[in-house]
């Protein structure tokens, strides 16, 4: 969450209360810094003071709106400014008139996040992944390549499923052991290597030059979807 406010005491108080409510808070004391932070850190909400040195809150809000739908809670000093602020012209989602109570602030923040969370609910995790000619159906526990069912042993399937759920991430042998074999498995890391070799025989176009389950030297393996 990004808090843009040039009054230090107020900024500190807002930050304190948001953090106490469990939010991670970044601060900016002027408009330009705010814009940079909004683009770089992708906050899930911006608390934005209207009166800022240099670029004011209206302009910051307008510019943020050109590339983001992040909820904006505007802080204003005068009630008569609010029509402009929440109008279509600027695009703030809500406002608070100073002075405001911290409970009110938290209530507004929660409501905005709830609304944006509902609007941006991510699709349910796919239980069927396709990668080239490879199809892994996590729900049915089946995998096929080029339309032909792969006869995977249970641990091979579990290992493949773990890779498929973590595409592009380097997974260490220890992480893989923990995730696929469980913490109480006392085998060593060669177990992982052996199963990776077996899996490669079944899913790689050319097992000696793997392109799906790639070895990352000194670190582990990475599945490239």
- Binding-site ranges for Ca ion (CB under 5 A): 6, 49, 51
**Min separation Cβ 217 and Ca ion, Å:** 53
Dihedral Cα 18, 13, 11, 119, nearest 10 deg: 20
33 or 191, CB closer to Ca ion?
33
> Least distance to Ca ion from the beta carbon of 81, Å?
12
Q: Is 109 helix (H, G, I), strand (E, B) or coil?
A: helix
DSSP strand pairing (94-97 vs 72-76): parallel
Q: Which is nearer to Ca ion, 102 or 138 (CB)?
A: 102
Smallest gap from residue 212 Cβ to Ca ion (A): 54
- Residue 167 has φ and ψ, to the nearest 5°, of -65, 140
The values of phi and psi at residue 211, to 5°, are -115, -10
Query: CA gyration radius for the chain?
Result: 25
Q: To the nearest whole angstrom, how small is the minimum distance from the Cβ of residue 74 to Ca ion?
A: 11
The residue among 8 and 169 lying less far from Ca ion, judged by its C-beta, is 8
Cβ distance to Ca ion smaller for residue 27 or 49: 49
Which residue is it, tokens 């991510």?
Answer: 122
**For residues 134 and 104, what is the distance between their CA atoms, to the nearest angstrom?**
52
Residue least distant from Ca ion (Cβ): 51
């Amino acid at each position: 969450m990004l808090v843009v406010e040039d009054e230090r005491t107020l900024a500190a108080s807002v930050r304190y209360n948001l953090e106490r409510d469990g939010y991670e808070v970044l601060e900016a004391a002027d408009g330009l810094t705010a814009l940079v932070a909004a683009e770089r850190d992708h906050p899930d909400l911006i608390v934005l003071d209207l009166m800022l040195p240099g670029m004011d809150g209206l302009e910051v809000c307008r510019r943020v709106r050109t590339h983001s739908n992040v909820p904006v809670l505007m802080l204003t000093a005068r009630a008569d400014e609010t029509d402009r602020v929440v109008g279509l012209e600027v695009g703030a989602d809500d406002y608070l008139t100073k002075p405001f109570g911290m409970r009110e602030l938290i209530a507004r923040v929660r409501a905005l996040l709830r609304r944006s969370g509902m609007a941006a609910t991510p699709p349910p995790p796919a239980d069927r992944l396709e990668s080239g000619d490879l199809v892994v159906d996590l729900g049915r526990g089946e995998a096929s390549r080029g339309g032909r069912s792969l006869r995977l042993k249970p641990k091979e399937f579990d290992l493949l499923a773990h890779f498929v759920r973590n595409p592009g991430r380097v997974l260490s042998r220890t992480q893989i052991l923990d995730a696929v074999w469980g913490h109480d498995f006392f085998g060593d890391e060669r177990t992982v290597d052996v199963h990776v070799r077996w899996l490669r025989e079944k899913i790689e176009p050319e097992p000696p030059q793997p392109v799906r389950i790639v070895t990352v030297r000194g670190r582990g393996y990475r599945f490239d979807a």
